[in-house]
Amino acid sequence: MTTMIKGMNTEMLRSYLEARKKIDENANMISSISSMLSLVGDAGEDTINIDPFSLAYLHRIINRDIHNILEALNDFVYILDAKMAIDDVEDKR
């Protein structure tokens, strides 16, 4: 068990766990779409017709999932807050 987890209270740990589940779900969807799109590169010289509506649909899925990830990350410490806390600890040494 990491030191970070040992120092967390149960409520915070549960909150982080829920955020992590949301991030994982959305990241896995984006990864799956990316893998599918990479297959287009294996088509060689074959002609591939791409329906613009289908492409727009993929965009909506990726966009939604990215926004979901960013929203879930709001449950974590903000970068600036973390940097300031680290600076405070290091300044006290």
Provide the total of helices (H) and of strands (E) in the chain, helices listed first: 4, 0
pLDDT for residue 60: 96
Domain regions of the chain by residue span: 10-91
Quick one: average pLDDT of 39-56? 85
pLDDT for residue 57: 95
The pLDDT-based confidence of 56 (bands split at 50, 70, 90) is: very high
pTM: 0.71
| Widest distance between CA atoms in the chain | 64
The pLDDT-based confidence of 2 (bands split at 50, 70, 90) is: low
Q: What is the pLDDT of residues 21-38, one digit of tens each?
A: 999 999 999 999 999 888
pLDDT for residue 52: 93
Virtual CA dihedral for 31, 34, 39, 42, nearest 10 degrees?
-110
